[in-house]
Structure 1
Amino acid sequence: MKLGDLKKEGHWQTLLASFLYFDFSFMMWTMLGPLATEINESLASRGFAMNDDQTATLLAVPVLAGAILRLVLGVFVDKFGPKKTALVSQMIVVATLFYGYLTAETITYDQLLLIALGLGFAGASFAVALPQAGQWYPPRLQGAVLGIAGAGNIGVVIDFLFAPKIAEVWGWPSVFLIGGALSFIILIVYMFLAKDAPASVYKPNPKKLGDYLKLMRDRDTWWFNLFYAVSFGGFIGFANYMKVYLMNTYEPEMSVFGMDVMNEGNVKVIAGYFGALCIFAGALLRPVGGAIADKMGGIKSLYVFYGSIIVLTFISAFVSLPFWAAIVVMFLIMANLGMANGSVFQLVPQRFGKDIGVMTGLIGMAGGLGGTAFIKTFGWSQGAFDGYAAGFIIFAVITMVAISGISLVKTRWRTTWGAVSGAKI
């Protein structure tokens, strides 16, 4: 497949619009993570500082809302079409961001939770952008098309690179202003570029509530939900909580490192840079994980990735690491989580090819719920034990449960649907 094929077939303008919509939406979805420290300092200056549990809740709400709204927007896509659904959803995100900017000087914790809820619509863009792009293209181009449209995960990296620096120069409310302006521009671009596929190209197959209930009675659905709750839940959970974790654990060392090596004194900006580096590994290596799974089988690759995650998280829990070593370990954790995401979705189409749309919604929601639980667990760990060892241990144990699940199903999978899938399982 060559990129030129995407111009000859389908509608490249819609593909571009879908990519931009998802990329910038993912950026807005995870915006509170790299700003959490600055926001808390602003609240503290007015007599209210968030505790660890409140910080975790604030970061978890967009993830939870995005997970649930993926199903809701998926239904709206079937009923009203992806373009109308995307436009309304994006308007809500734009309004949320400008509301955050306009109320920043007197903002309360409850208002922040409302903003977090509104940003959940940005996280749900996955359920709109991918179907809209995919509807225009034939099956042989779906992998490339969905890979391009879904590359928006990189948006969280952009957050961590630029949000702390913008906050340092112009104040954290300016991040909401710039985010709102960019989201409005994307809204206009999307309005003119994107088109719903005509009936001659795509025949709608609306999903019904019964379709979801039917698949939820299938035990394999729950196994895949567990596997993706670990891999994507871990990825999006770490991504949102990364700066808080680094600031609470390594603030003095980051300050020294910044002055000695980077000629940069703002520790929040340094945390953003290194957070972006680790998150970039998970975002970039997702397709690599899928390619590895194609060669060695999804089950074997998940053994490797999950096994590596278990070892690395136990190291983080029990070894007192210096800052540079902690970054290396976190980079490897995120890399393995990203590759595990790709491996899970190498298996899903083999098992649920006829129901891939419904399963994508269900598994995507499970990933978001896993991320919510992850953030809350780490917030609890810091609040209860003044450290993150308990959070790492719990995540390692849950990953061990996932590996045990793979061991329980691998023989049945390989001798039933895996035997006729045509792919390595």
Structure 2
Amino acid sequence: MTETNTRSAPTVLEGRGRNLGLALLSFAITFWAWNLVAPIAVRYADELDLDATQTSILIATPVIVGSVGRILTGALTDRFGGRIMFTVLTAISAVPVLLVMWAGELGSYPLLIAFGFLLGIAGTTFAVGIPFVNAWYDPSKRGFATGVFGAGMGGTALSSFFTPRMVAAFGYEATHVIIAIALLVVAAITWFLMRDAPVWKPNHDRVMPRLAAAGRLAVTWQMAFLYAVTFGGFVAFSTYLPTYLSNVYGYDLTDAGARTAGFAIAAVIARPVGGWLSDKIGPAKVLMISLAGAAVMAIVIALKPPAELLAGSSFVLMAVFLGLGTGAVFTWVAQRSPAERVGSVTGIVGAIGGLGGFFPPLVMGATYDAESHSYTIGLVLLCITALVALAFTIFLARRRGPAEE
């Protein structure tokens, strides 16, 4: 078996900053595409006369493939490397973008669901970037480096802010064509400028046995649960928040998108901070802060603070706590995963994390009280989940000892 020995890497590999930047670029544009449905879901709901549950299913559908697909893309990255995987996935993502456009023009809810499912391909690039970045950076810097790469989830903020405005300015069809072209351009840039780390070596083990081996590691499922809460919470809010703000506060599509972008930006900024803090004080402590804060803010948001300053501050704080947690989890993954299994472990953890974002919108839609415009039940369930994850983090930290705290 060929193993990736990143521990033998020098402190600074020439070109690591450029490659980190390219990975961030690919991640951001594919995450924009992945979140293309949510910012204009209110439009679909109005045109197709969808109820709250139908709308939440439409929003959540791209998350499925974007989550489950990470299991395969993480394992394939161990074999083919980040350059090939980023290029292929970014280019392929242009196809479902155009198919979603076509389904929307036809006004077909079943086709929107089917092509939204395929759009999830764009969300699989996360599992490519973590092992790619890990190979470029030595262990003491991986928390910060993976946090910077993870800031590419800000593609959801770009989508939330710009997609409704682009639809208003250029039209529905033109917006989707522009995003598809952007994906193809970034794919070309990635192919010509990106390089795998000199210390990276392909793992030629068969994919399924490799995934099975990663699945037998306790760290895989421990981190998967924590990532399902932190990143899943981010995905759920960033995809469902336009609908939430419309129902609870009466914002129109553009205003709700702008505020959702602010939420996503706060989480994006917090993610590398979470990675950096994890390098300094340990990922477990950062996760404890993250989960405790998320539990508190879920209750605050459930109380429906007044619009603008108080409500906006509440959502920003929630985003910061979730962002810190996402950065901490993958610092812990990098510390505890075998070097040759990082891609496979990342794929499974990323998949479960993404699935963590699939179910909350469904719960929010199912528990929404239309008469009082309230999502209290869903937010209380979020608080309970965060507290359970907090208790689990404390348990892991005590068991693992001071070195990982």
In the TM superposition, what is the alpha-carbon distance from 1:134 to its structure 2 partner? 4.8
Task: Give the superposition deviation at 1:216.
Answer: 3.2
Alpha-carbon offset, residue 243 of structure 1: 0.5
CA distance in 1, matches of 2:318, 2:16: 37
* 2:399 matches 1:399: no
Q: Does 1:171 align with 2:157?
A: no
- Cα 1:357–1:367 change in 2 (3 A) is same
Is this contact kept in 1: 2:142–2:334, CA < 8 A?
A: no
| Matching residue of 2:377 | 390
Alignment correspondent of 1:114 = 114
Indicate the residue corresponding to 1:233 in structure 2: 232
Q: Which residue of 2 aligns with 1:380?
A: 366
- Unmatched 5+ residue regions in structure 2? 1-9
Distance 1:341 1:136 in 2: 20
Matches of 1:76 and 1:101 in 2, distance apart?
A: 29
CA distance in 1, matches of 2:132, 2:269: 23
- Match of 1:203, SS? coil
For residue 401 of structure 1, what is the amino acid of its counterpart? V
One of 15, 30, 33 as aligned partner of 2:35: 30
Identical-residue share of aligned pairs (%): 29
Task: State the distance in 2 between where 1:144 and 1:223 align.
Answer: 21
**Residue of structure 1 equivalent to 2:22:** 17
- Aligned residue pair count: 392
**2: CA distance between counterparts of 1:279 and 1:395?**
18
Measure, in 2, the Cα distance between the counterparts of 1:151 and 1:356.
Answer: 19
C-alpha distance in 2 between matches for 1:189 and 1:291? 28
Correspondence list, 1:42-53, <5 A: 42-43=47-48, 49-53=49-53
Listed one character per residue, the Cα deviations across residues 188-235 of structure 1 (whole Å, up to 9, x for unaligned) are 2223223455xx643223464334334434444333222111101001
Deviations 1:246-300 (A, max 9, x none): 011101xx4xxxxxxxxxxxx3211111111111111111121233334443333
Distance 1:170 1:76, change over 3 A: same
1:245 maps to: 244
Extract unaligned runs of 5+ from structure 1.
44-48, 255-266
Task: Specify the SS of the correspondent of 2:358.
Answer: helix
Q: What is residue 287 of structure 2 aligned with on the other side?
A: 302
2:305 to 314, 321, 337: 321
Match for residue 158 of structure 1?
Answer: 158
Residue of structure 2 in register with 1:223 after alignment: 222
Corresponding residue number in structure 2 for 1:188: 188
Q: When the two structures are superposed, what TM-score results if normalisation uses the length of structure 2? A: 0.87
CA distance in 2, matches of 1:302, 1:148: 17
Measured after TM superposition, the shift of residue 376 of structure 1 is 1.4
Cα pair distance change 1:248/1:403, threshold 3 Å: same
2:202 aligned counterpart, secondary structure: coil
Matches within 5 A, 1:260-275: 267-275=252-260
1:282/1:129 Cα in 2 relative to 1: closer, same or farther (>3 Å)?
Answer: same
Structure 1 residue aligned with 2:4:
none
Aligned AA (1:40): A
Q: Secondary structure at the match of 2:203?
A: coil
Alignment of 1:19-168 (within 5 A): 19-43=24-48, 49-132=49-132, 134-135=134-135, 142=142, 145-168=145-168
With 382-391 and 327-336 compared, the bigger mean Cα shift is at 382-391
- Where relative contact order (Cα < 8 A, 6+ residues apart) is larger, the structure is 2
CA distance 1:351–1:73, change in 2 (3 Å): closer
Q: Structure 2: how far apart are the matches of 1:122 and 1:40?
A: 23
